[in-house]
Amino acid sequence: MLLVEDDDAIAEPLVAGLERDGFVVSRVATADDALAAERSDFVLLDLGLPDGDGTDVCRELRARSDVPIIVITARGDEIDRVVLLELGADDYLVKPFGLRELTARIRAVARRMGARGDRSSTVEVGPLALDRRTRRVVLNGRELVLTPKEFDLLAFLASDPGAVLSRQTIIETVWDAHWFGPTKTLDVHMASLRKKLGDPNWIETVRGVGFRLRAPE
Protein backbone atom coordinates (compact mmCIF):
# COMPACT_ATOMS: atom_id res chain seq x y z
CA MET A 1 0.00 0.00 0.00
CA LEU A 2 1.28 3.47 -0.90
CA LEU A 3 0.48 6.26 1.56
CA VAL A 4 0.91 9.78 0.14
CA GLU A 5 0.89 12.13 3.15
CA ASP A 6 3.26 14.98 4.00
CA ASP A 7 2.21 15.49 7.63
CA ASP A 8 4.36 13.31 9.91
CA ALA A 9 1.89 13.67 12.77
CA ILE A 10 -0.75 11.98 10.64
CA ALA A 11 1.40 9.63 8.57
CA GLU A 12 3.43 7.96 11.32
CA PRO A 13 0.54 6.68 13.48
CA LEU A 14 -1.40 5.83 10.32
CA VAL A 15 1.43 3.66 9.00
CA ALA A 16 1.82 2.00 12.40
CA GLY A 17 -1.90 1.27 12.65
CA LEU A 18 -2.16 -0.11 9.12
CA GLU A 19 0.87 -2.32 9.66
CA ARG A 20 -0.70 -3.69 12.87
CA ASP A 21 -3.71 -4.61 10.72
CA GLY A 22 -1.46 -6.60 8.38
CA PHE A 23 -0.86 -4.10 5.58
CA VAL A 24 2.59 -3.48 4.09
CA VAL A 25 2.86 0.30 3.78
CA SER A 26 5.28 2.51 1.85
CA ARG A 27 5.01 6.22 2.60
CA VAL A 28 5.96 9.24 0.46
CA ALA A 29 5.37 12.92 1.20
CA THR A 30 5.26 14.64 -2.20
CA ALA A 31 3.37 14.48 -5.48
CA ASP A 32 6.58 13.81 -7.41
CA ASP A 33 7.52 10.88 -5.18
CA ALA A 34 3.99 9.49 -5.46
CA LEU A 35 4.18 9.45 -9.24
CA ALA A 36 7.72 8.01 -9.19
CA ALA A 37 6.91 5.25 -6.70
CA GLU A 38 6.77 1.62 -7.75
CA ARG A 39 3.30 0.35 -8.53
CA SER A 40 1.37 -0.65 -5.42
CA ASP A 41 -1.82 -2.62 -4.80
CA PHE A 42 -3.56 0.32 -3.13
CA VAL A 43 -3.09 4.09 -2.77
CA LEU A 44 -4.10 6.34 0.12
CA LEU A 45 -3.76 9.87 -1.23
CA ASP A 46 -3.72 13.17 0.66
CA LEU A 47 -4.71 16.21 -1.40
CA GLY A 48 -2.65 18.90 0.33
CA LEU A 49 0.85 18.10 -0.88
CA PRO A 50 3.80 20.54 -0.71
CA ASP A 51 4.71 20.33 -4.40
CA GLY A 52 1.31 20.01 -6.06
CA ASP A 53 -2.37 19.22 -5.77
CA GLY A 54 -3.39 15.67 -5.01
CA THR A 55 -6.12 15.88 -7.63
CA ASP A 56 -3.42 15.98 -10.31
CA VAL A 57 -1.77 12.92 -8.75
CA CYS A 58 -5.13 11.14 -8.69
CA ARG A 59 -5.73 11.94 -12.35
CA GLU A 60 -2.28 10.73 -13.39
CA LEU A 61 -2.43 7.52 -11.36
CA ARG A 62 -5.84 6.69 -12.80
CA ALA A 63 -4.62 7.33 -16.34
CA ARG A 64 -1.83 4.81 -15.73
CA SER A 65 -3.75 1.99 -14.08
CA ASP A 66 -6.83 0.73 -12.22
CA VAL A 67 -5.07 0.79 -8.82
CA PRO A 68 -7.66 1.45 -6.08
CA ILE A 69 -7.36 5.00 -4.74
CA ILE A 70 -8.84 6.31 -1.50
CA VAL A 71 -8.43 10.04 -1.00
CA ILE A 72 -7.86 11.35 2.52
CA THR A 73 -8.53 15.05 2.72
CA ALA A 74 -9.37 17.94 4.99
CA ARG A 75 -11.67 19.29 2.29
CA GLY A 76 -15.27 18.42 3.07
CA ASP A 77 -16.93 20.44 0.34
CA GLU A 78 -19.33 18.45 -1.86
CA ILE A 79 -17.85 19.87 -5.05
CA ASP A 80 -14.41 18.56 -4.12
CA ARG A 81 -15.84 15.11 -3.46
CA VAL A 82 -17.66 15.05 -6.79
CA VAL A 83 -14.52 16.17 -8.64
CA LEU A 84 -12.44 13.46 -6.97
CA LEU A 85 -14.89 10.72 -7.89
CA GLU A 86 -15.02 12.04 -11.44
CA LEU A 87 -11.22 11.88 -11.60
CA GLY A 88 -11.34 8.21 -10.73
CA ALA A 89 -10.92 7.99 -6.94
CA ASP A 90 -12.69 4.92 -5.57
CA ASP A 91 -13.57 6.44 -2.20
CA TYR A 92 -12.64 9.31 0.11
CA LEU A 93 -12.38 10.10 3.80
CA VAL A 94 -12.57 13.56 5.33
CA LYS A 95 -10.10 14.28 8.15
CA PRO A 96 -10.23 13.61 11.02
CA PHE A 97 -11.16 9.93 10.71
CA GLY A 98 -10.60 6.76 12.71
CA LEU A 99 -8.36 3.88 11.70
CA ARG A 100 -11.25 1.40 11.93
CA GLU A 101 -13.28 3.42 9.43
CA LEU A 102 -10.32 3.65 7.07
CA THR A 103 -9.62 -0.09 7.13
CA ALA A 104 -13.32 -0.78 6.58
CA ARG A 105 -13.27 1.49 3.52
CA ILE A 106 -10.09 -0.19 2.25
CA ARG A 107 -11.66 -3.64 2.49
CA ALA A 108 -14.93 -2.47 0.91
CA VAL A 109 -13.08 -1.02 -2.09
CA ALA A 110 -10.96 -4.17 -2.34
CA ARG A 111 -14.12 -6.32 -2.43
CA ARG A 112 -15.58 -4.20 -5.22
CA MET A 113 -12.35 -4.36 -7.19
CA GLY A 114 -12.11 -8.10 -6.61
CA ALA A 115 -15.61 -8.61 -7.94
CA ARG A 116 -14.68 -6.75 -11.10
CA GLY A 117 -11.38 -8.61 -11.37
CA ASP A 118 -13.10 -12.00 -11.37
CA ARG A 119 -14.28 -11.28 -14.89
CA SER A 120 -12.22 -11.54 -18.05
CA SER A 121 -10.14 -8.51 -18.99
CA THR A 122 -11.73 -8.30 -22.44
CA VAL A 123 -15.44 -8.11 -23.17
CA GLU A 124 -17.11 -8.04 -26.58
CA VAL A 125 -20.69 -6.98 -27.19
CA GLY A 126 -21.39 -7.12 -30.92
CA PRO A 127 -18.95 -4.73 -32.61
CA LEU A 128 -17.97 -3.21 -29.25
CA ALA A 129 -14.74 -4.46 -27.62
CA LEU A 130 -13.68 -3.33 -24.15
CA ASP A 131 -10.38 -4.15 -22.43
CA ARG A 132 -10.34 -3.47 -18.69
CA ARG A 133 -6.60 -3.98 -18.36
CA THR A 134 -5.64 -1.31 -20.90
CA ARG A 135 -8.88 0.70 -20.45
CA ARG A 136 -9.41 0.81 -24.21
CA VAL A 137 -12.75 0.69 -26.01
CA VAL A 138 -13.04 -0.04 -29.71
CA LEU A 139 -16.29 0.19 -31.67
CA ASN A 140 -16.42 -0.94 -35.31
CA GLY A 141 -12.63 -0.73 -35.44
CA ARG A 142 -12.50 2.82 -34.07
CA GLU A 143 -11.14 3.58 -30.59
CA LEU A 144 -13.42 5.69 -28.41
CA VAL A 145 -12.04 8.40 -26.13
CA LEU A 146 -13.80 8.09 -22.77
CA THR A 147 -13.34 9.81 -19.43
CA PRO A 148 -12.36 7.53 -16.50
CA LYS A 149 -15.92 7.47 -15.18
CA GLU A 150 -17.42 6.88 -18.64
CA PHE A 151 -15.11 3.88 -19.03
CA ASP A 152 -16.01 2.53 -15.58
CA LEU A 153 -19.70 2.96 -16.35
CA LEU A 154 -19.47 1.20 -19.72
CA ALA A 155 -17.31 -1.57 -18.24
CA PHE A 156 -19.88 -2.24 -15.50
CA LEU A 157 -22.76 -2.35 -18.00
CA ALA A 158 -20.69 -4.65 -20.24
CA SER A 159 -19.97 -7.00 -17.33
CA ASP A 160 -23.42 -8.52 -17.88
CA PRO A 161 -24.72 -7.55 -21.36
CA GLY A 162 -28.49 -7.60 -21.64
CA ALA A 163 -29.04 -7.62 -17.87
CA VAL A 164 -30.88 -4.71 -16.29
CA LEU A 165 -28.72 -3.00 -13.67
CA SER A 166 -30.48 -0.75 -11.19
CA ARG A 167 -29.58 2.90 -10.82
CA GLN A 168 -28.55 2.35 -7.21
CA THR A 169 -26.31 -0.59 -8.05
CA ILE A 170 -24.61 1.40 -10.80
CA ILE A 171 -24.03 4.41 -8.55
CA GLU A 172 -22.69 2.31 -5.67
CA THR A 173 -20.33 0.35 -7.93
CA VAL A 174 -19.12 3.01 -10.36
CA TRP A 175 -19.15 6.00 -8.03
CA ASP A 176 -19.21 5.24 -4.32
CA ALA A 177 -21.05 2.97 -1.90
CA HIS A 178 -21.46 6.04 0.33
CA TRP A 179 -22.73 8.31 -2.45
CA PHE A 180 -25.50 10.64 -1.32
CA GLY A 181 -25.23 13.16 -4.12
CA PRO A 182 -27.71 13.80 -6.92
CA THR A 183 -28.43 10.81 -9.16
CA LYS A 184 -28.52 13.26 -12.07
CA THR A 185 -24.76 12.65 -12.29
CA LEU A 186 -25.57 9.18 -13.64
CA ASP A 187 -27.96 10.57 -16.27
CA VAL A 188 -25.36 13.09 -17.45
CA HIS A 189 -22.78 10.34 -17.91
CA MET A 190 -25.29 8.07 -19.64
CA ALA A 191 -26.12 10.84 -22.12
CA SER A 192 -22.44 11.48 -22.84
CA LEU A 193 -21.72 7.77 -23.23
CA ARG A 194 -24.63 7.27 -25.63
CA LYS A 195 -23.37 10.17 -27.72
CA LYS A 196 -19.87 8.70 -27.94
CA LEU A 197 -21.25 5.26 -28.84
CA GLY A 198 -23.00 6.95 -31.77
CA ASP A 199 -26.36 5.25 -31.21
CA PRO A 200 -28.57 5.81 -28.12
CA ASN A 201 -29.93 2.27 -28.51
CA TRP A 202 -26.69 0.85 -27.13
CA ILE A 203 -27.90 1.71 -23.64
CA GLU A 204 -31.56 1.03 -22.99
CA THR A 205 -33.41 2.75 -20.17
CA VAL A 206 -35.76 0.39 -18.35
CA ARG A 207 -38.24 2.76 -16.74
CA GLY A 208 -38.37 2.57 -12.97
CA VAL A 209 -35.53 0.04 -12.81
CA GLY A 210 -32.27 1.04 -14.47
CA PHE A 211 -30.24 0.46 -17.63
CA ARG A 212 -28.88 -2.33 -19.78
CA LEU A 213 -26.28 -2.57 -22.51
CA ARG A 214 -26.95 -4.45 -25.74
CA ALA A 215 -25.88 -4.15 -29.34
CA PRO A 216 -28.43 -2.28 -31.47
CA GLU A 217 -30.21 -4.41 -34.06
Average pLDDT, the chain: 84
3-state secondary structure of 182: coil
Q: Give the number of C-alpha atoms closer than 13 A to the C-alpha of residue 161, restricted to the C-beta side.
A: 13
Band (pLDDT 50/70/90 cuts) for residue 209 is confident
Provide the residue ranges of all domains of the chain, joining segments of one domain with +: 2-117, 122-213
3-state secondary structure of 51: coil
In CATH, the number for domain 2-117 is: 3.40.50.2300
State the pTM of this model: 0.56
User: With contact defined as beta carbons under 8 Å apart, do 4 and 43 qualify?
Assistant: yes
Check residues 32 and 47 and name the one with the higher pLDDT: 32
pLDDT tens for each residue of 55-104:
889 989 988 888 889 988 877 665 566 767 677 788 888 888 888 888 88
**Under CATH, which architecture does the 122-213 domain have?**
Orthogonal Bundle (1.10)
pLDDT tens for each residue of 146-178:
988 898 899 889 888 888 888 888 887 787 655
